[in-house]
Amino acid sequence: MKPLRNLSIIGLSCFVLSGCITNKAADEVVMPKMQQNTYLSHAKPPQQFGFSIYSTEDGMAYSGSCRLHPNHLVSAKLSRGNIPVINIRGKSKRNKMNVLIDFSSPTSWLEFSTSQKFGAQFMGKDSHVIPYRGSYNTGGVDAYAGVIAQLRIDTLFMENIPFQIRMAQGSLGPLARGIKSPSIDAILGYDNLRNFEYIQINLIRNTILFSSTTPYIPHSELLVATANMVNSHGHGLAIKGHVDGVTTPVILDLAGDYYFARGDVKVSVTKELDLNYLSFDHVPTLILPVHNVPPRVGRKLLAPYIITICSKKGVVYFEELQKNY
């Protein structure tokens, strides 16, 4: 067990789950409905971007994800400290944006002005667009499904990347998780991140590795734990965990500036947390705004480890730093 008794509790900047109430950012300008409708009237069919379209009880929806060029492995530097924000560019080198890498978000998001700068297209059919219907708190601002033709992480190409475009300029509101510097232009959520063969986060070195198709082989002498991914409907990346002896999905929230958070009980400290042999006791704990969501582990708890997320294998590796680092 790794005791955390002496670690102070740092408040969450903002949870984006349903039920979290936040004030609008001072620099946020919500677009008038008439102006929104002008842009939405030019929506393109999802099939044009290689996505499928289907009907639900609430209306039209789409399924599909981005395409990655094969055999690419790139390293990106975190923009500020160990906050997982990287710089991504479009087809033109002049088009750059700050992107929060958020495995805990099931959806990717775009600020409206950024969407236009990168030539995003809204998706729809027969004058009907596809609104965001999830439970995440958008700050009371509507969002609609859209797509960017191409993005580049260094030399790694992503094509036809779907996003939810939030219809406000200057801010992503609560979705930016309270991060003020650098300003967050977009969020890559798990809907797109799970398409990579692996993504490795090193919060000590402040780097993220992205592999499009090359598998990852962990270092046996450095491997601390291997956690299996589990389904957690409506949420992002979850692994099998045990909280005070109870088996439960645990959301990996590397964008969250805290140790641990849960909504099932109101406690300031969780006695035992186990992530498949990666065990902690007396973990500083924050209270989630709703009780029936999975607990979350933040980057303050996971910062000492190299974390490799292999979505196609369905595992997450936790490794120690090399001795000669």
- pLDDT tens-digit series, residues 39-63: 999 999 999 999 998 888 888 889 9
Give the pLDDT score at 212: 97
Angle at 89 between CA 88 and CA 94, to 5 degrees: 140
Domain 2-15+211-319 in CATH 2.60.120: no
Per-residue pLDDT at 206 exceeds 60: yes
Give the pLDDT score at 58: 81
Using 50, 70 and 90 to split pLDDT, how confident is the model at 4? low
pLDDT, tens digit, for every residue of 270-318? 999 999 889 999 999 999 988 889 999 999 999 999 999 999 999 999 9
Using 50, 70 and 90 to split pLDDT, how confident is the model at 26? low
Domain boundaries, the chain: 2-15+211-319, 30-54+64-196
Tell me if 2-15+211-319 shares its fold with 30-54+64-196: yes
Quote the CATH superfamily of domain 30-54+64-196.
Answer: Acid Proteases (2.40.70.10)
